[in-house]
């Protein structure tokens, strides 16, 4: 299958989900090219941005698991025509 470059943005409103998210990201560490975290204290939101490279089904599996967590929103942009 074709590997795609992409970006995943994770918005966390419930801080109790952070350890579970970190576990999921650790399990998928081989597809993560870069990771950045940002706290927005006045809105009580933590953001994580990931640059990734993987097959679409693996990306979708990861974002699906993250998106099912309470207090967490996830969005993905997959770029198929870069390479």
Tens-place pLDDT, residues 44-77: 999 999 999 999 899 999 999 999 999 999 999 9
pLDDT in the model for residue 78:
85
Q: What is the domain-level CATH number for residue 29?
A: 3.30.70.1150
**For residues 5-43, b (16+ Cβ closer than 10 Å) or e, as one string?**
bbebebebeeeebbeebeebbeebeebbeeeeeeeeeee
For 2, the domain range is 1-49+69-75
Domain count, the chain: 1
Q: Is residue 64 in some structural domain?
A: no
0.95 exceeded by pTM: no
Tokens standing for residue 39: 């706290």
Tens-place pLDDT, residues 10-35: 999 999 999 999 999 999 999 999 99
Q: Is residue 12 in some structural domain?
A: yes
């Amino acid at each position: 299958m074709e590997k795609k470059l992409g970006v995943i943005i994770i918005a966390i409103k419930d801080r109790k989900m952070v350890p579970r998210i970190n576990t999921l990201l650790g399990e998928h560490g081989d597809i993560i090219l870069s990771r950045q975290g940002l706290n927005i204290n006045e809105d009580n939101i933590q953001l994580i941005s990931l640059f990734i490279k993987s097959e679409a089904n693996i990306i979708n599996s990861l974002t699906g698991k993250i998106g099912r967590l309470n207090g967490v929103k996830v969005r993905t942009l997959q770029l198929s025509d870069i390479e």
